[in-house]
């Protein structure tokens, strides 16, 4: 019987109780796919990566080998995942004891070009497998495989795109729906589209592959379109008057029914910015209302109501992928930023009700699915420890590149929205490629920030789990392990004020440094002194950002030819006290959302006195580290007290910004 999904062909090989250890050669990271790894766990198989021999040995010896040597049995079978290059490094005792399996994309998709399908995000393998079963393609070469994937996985038939409406509709599908078209496929799409002379002046190489460039392309064509709409479909200005940075037609068919359905959401979600235009008849064309700032008095409420409607219809379900939560969190962040910066109270009660619902669903999802994120590949970093691994891939693809990682301690995703607007005002040519990633639980600085600088899970740094004093050494060790000379690795923390040029130039030589890790702790300091809640946080962060330190830091690094990444170790949330407990706890000042206990028994006994708390399974954490955390807006402080804190598992604390900066040519 043929497998129903590509996962079935793998799962069928995992039979319980045959061996304590199974070694899987997995060059394509198939076992780390979110749904497959969860199903393996549910069937009694624990997945351990062999990427880092020290980290692996610690997890394997402490979690399994020691127990077996003592004659104890474990419920789970250990699955050790290796790639081809790591095979020779496996210890002999494991090779002798374990059953060996191998899975590759080439075996699952034998008639498709391996060099093409290996570039696909694993979230598209279901569609690809279904298409393979339905159409049974012959043995395909590279271009035919590209065309097959573009058509049957992404639903795009390039040869049928023959006019501006069809092209614009296709690009909106790609970028608004975040289809993650890999470069090898976007290049093929561009190649086919350029065969149509109608699109000769479109900047296809840029706007097909880069969502930021595409939305900037739309943004600068919105004013000419409004002029045409206001003056009876006649262009009243020379094209040069609009100062267009991107080539292509001066106006776009925004009013076509297939395009118009996107317009409201593009402005409501902040992908496009409303413009001031006099003479535009909004009553005749109500669909443009969200894109015209003459309605400024109502702008916040228009966006708030629009976002509330979108969010109510898009709350992820228990089966949702982590990427769906990230997409949702970015829209949620836009809404939270609006609520906390505009003092709009009309929809506050509705917002609070949705917030409670969202975090209840997020908590349930985290309890079931969070463990499956740890071993995902770093192509699109799902967790903070994947970020430096992703940066390594950038360095591997361009050896002469220099890299900088800026960690803004405590910055939440909605506070990033506030910062982003200020940065855009300071330099409209600053390109910000936005995403988000998951912090470590508990969302404490010493746990999560060390993960992002070490590129490892917290179980690998047990001695420093309660401090950040070792993260500079962890950062240097990570990059040394990846081939960078120690003399070319730099790290500095406690940044946030002062003259950027003087601070960096006094600390290290940018021309001789290959990778830089920087900690900006200003937001965290604001949070720990905050008495005015979430709105006060946004106000003070905005004022700090307007002071120019962060902008100067990013610009200075870019000017010195660094690729700049920005993230945060955890977010924060305004929360309300539900009661205190102190026994055996280790908590940060104002981090009253997590309590850490040295034994499971102590943690569980305290939990009985705090019914609102969650006994968090210490996934990826060192022995003797058992968290008791809060969800929603609860806190371990005196009842009735309101604080801004972190440490818990709310979406606002867990999903943090991940931004890559570039400069657009002026």
Q: Is the pLDDT of residue 258 over 90?
A: yes
Instruction: DSSP for 369-397, please give it.
Output: HGGGGTTS-TTS-SBGGGHHHHHHHHHHH
Res 590: pLDDT: 39
What is the rounded average pLDDT of the residues 28-47? Answer: 90
- Range with the lowest mean pLDDT among 159-163, 303-307, 343-347? 343-347
Res 96: pLDDT: 72
Using pLDDT thresholds of 50, 70 and 90, give the confidence band for residue 299.
low
Query: Domain map of the chain by residue range?
Result: 6-108, 386-572+653-663, 574-650
pTM: 0.90
Please tell me the number of Cα atoms within 13 Å of 504 on its side-chain side.
Answer: 26
Q: Which has the closest alpha carbon to 82: 67, 63, 98, 66? A: 98
Res 90: pLDDT: 73
Q: Which has the closest alpha carbon to 536: 498, 574, 564? A: 574
Percent of the chain residues topping a pLDDT of 90? 69
Contact 629, 410 (CB under 8 A): no
Using pLDDT thresholds of 50, 70 and 90, give the confidence band for residue 583.
low
**Span 86-98, pLDDT tens digits:** 676 677 777 776 7
Res 238: pLDDT: 67
What is the rounded average pLDDT of the residues 490-518? Answer: 95
For domain 6-108, say whether CATH 3.30.450 is its number.
no
Residue 208, classified by CB atoms within 10 Å of its CB into exposed (0-12), middle (13-18) or buried (19+), is buried
- Range with the lowest mean pLDDT among 179-193, 342-356, 501-515? 342-356
For domain 386-572+653-663, say whether CATH 1.20.140.10 is its number.
no
- Comparison of pLDDT for 367 and 531, the residue scoring more: 367
Res 220: pLDDT: 93
Q: Which has the closest alpha carbon to 125: 210, 9, 218? A: 9
Res 491: pLDDT: 97
Res 136: pLDDT: 92
Q: Is the pLDDT of residue 666 over 50?
A: no
**Span 264-290, pLDDT tens digits:** 999 999 999 998 876 667 778 889 988
Res 584: pLDDT: 43
- Range with the lowest mean pLDDT among 42-51, 73-82, 148-157, 511-520? 73-82
Q: Is the pLDDT of residue 62 over 70?
A: no
**CA 515, CA 534: separation in Å to the nearest integer?**
34
Q: Is the pLDDT of residue 128 over 80?
A: yes
């Amino acid at each position: 019987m043929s497998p129903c999904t590509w996962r079935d062909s793998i799962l069928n090989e995992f039979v319980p109780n045959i061996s304590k250890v199974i070694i899987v050669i997995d060059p394509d990271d198939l076992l780390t796919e979110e749904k497959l790894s969860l199903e393996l766990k549910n069937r009694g198989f624990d997945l351990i990566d062999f990427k880092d021999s020290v980290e692996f040995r610690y997890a394997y010896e402490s979690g399994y080998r020691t127990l077996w040597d003592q004659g104890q049995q474990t419920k789970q079978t250990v699955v050790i995942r290796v790639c081809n290059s790591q095979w020779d490094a496996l210890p002999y005792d494991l090779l002798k004891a374990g059953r060996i399996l191998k899975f590759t994309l080439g075996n699952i998709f034998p008639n498709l070009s391996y060099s093409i399908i290996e570039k696909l995000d694993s979230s598209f393998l279901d569609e690809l497998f279904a298409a393979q079963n339905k159409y049974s393609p012959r043995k395909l070469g590279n271009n035919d495989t590209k065309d097959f994937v573009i058509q049957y996985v992404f639903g795009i038939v390039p040869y049928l795109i023959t006019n501006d409406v069809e092209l614009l509709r296709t690009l909106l599908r790609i970028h608004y729906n975040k289809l993650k078209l890999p470069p090898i496929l976007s290049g093929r799409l561009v190649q086919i589209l350029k065969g149509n002379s109608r699109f000769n002046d479109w900047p296809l190489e840029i706007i097909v592959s880069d969502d930021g460039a595409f939305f900037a392309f739309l943004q600068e064509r919105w004013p000419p379109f409004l002029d045409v709409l206001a003056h009876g479909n006649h262009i009243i200005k020379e094209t040069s008057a609009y100062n267009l940075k991107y080539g292509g037609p001066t106006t776009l068919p925004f009013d076509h029914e297939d395009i118009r359905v996107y317009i409201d959401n593009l402005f409501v979600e902040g992908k496009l910015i409303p413009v001031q235009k006099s003479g535009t008849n909004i009553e005749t064309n109500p669909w443009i209302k969200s894109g015209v700032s003459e309605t400024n008095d109502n702008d916040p409420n228009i966006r708030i109501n629009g976002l509330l409607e979108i969010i109510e219809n898009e709350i992820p379900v228990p089966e949702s992928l982590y990427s769906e939560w990230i997409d949702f969190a970015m829209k949620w962040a836009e809404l939270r930023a609006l609520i906390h910066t505009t003092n709009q109270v009309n929809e506050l009660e509705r917002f609070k009700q949705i917030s409670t619902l969202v975090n209840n669903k997020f908590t349930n999802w985290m309890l079931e699915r969070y463990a499956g994120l740890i071993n995902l590949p770093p192509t699109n970093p799902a967790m903070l420890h994947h970020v430096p691994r992703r940066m390594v891939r950038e360095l591997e693809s361009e050896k002469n590149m220099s890299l900088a990682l800026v960690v803004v301690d405590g910055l939440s995703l909605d506070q990033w929205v506030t910062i982003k607007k200020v940065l855009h005002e300071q330099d409209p040519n600053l390109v910000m490629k936005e995403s988000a990633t998951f912090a470590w639980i508990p969302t404490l600085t010493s746990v999560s920030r060390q993960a992002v600088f070490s590129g490892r899970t917290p179980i690998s740094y047990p001695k420093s789990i309660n401090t950040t004093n070792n993260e500079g050494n962890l950062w240097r060790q990570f990059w040394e392990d990846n081939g960078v000379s120690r003399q070319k690795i730099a790290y500095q923390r406690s940044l946030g004020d002062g003259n950027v040029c003087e601070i960096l130039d006094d600390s290290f030589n940018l021309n001789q440094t290959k990778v830089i890790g920087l900690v900006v702790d200003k937001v965290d300091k604001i949070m720990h002194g905050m008495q005015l809640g979430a709105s006060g946080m946004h106000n003070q962060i905005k004022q700090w950002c307007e002071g120019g330190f962060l902008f100067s830091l990013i610009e200075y690094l870019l000017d010195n030819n660094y690729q700049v990444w920005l993230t945060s170790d955890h977010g924060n949330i305004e929360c309300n006290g539900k009661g205190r407990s102190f026994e055996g706890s280790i908590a940060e000042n104002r981090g009253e959302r997590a309590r850490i206990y040295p034994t499971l028994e102590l943690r569980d006994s305290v939990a009985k006195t705090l019914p609102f708390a969650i006994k968090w399974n210490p996934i990826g954490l060192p022995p003797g580290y058992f968290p008791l955390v809060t969800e929603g807006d609860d806190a371990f402080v005196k009842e009735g007290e309101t604080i801004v804190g972190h440490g818990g598992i709310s979406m606002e604390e867990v999903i943090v910004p991940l931004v890559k900066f570039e400069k657009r040519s002026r």
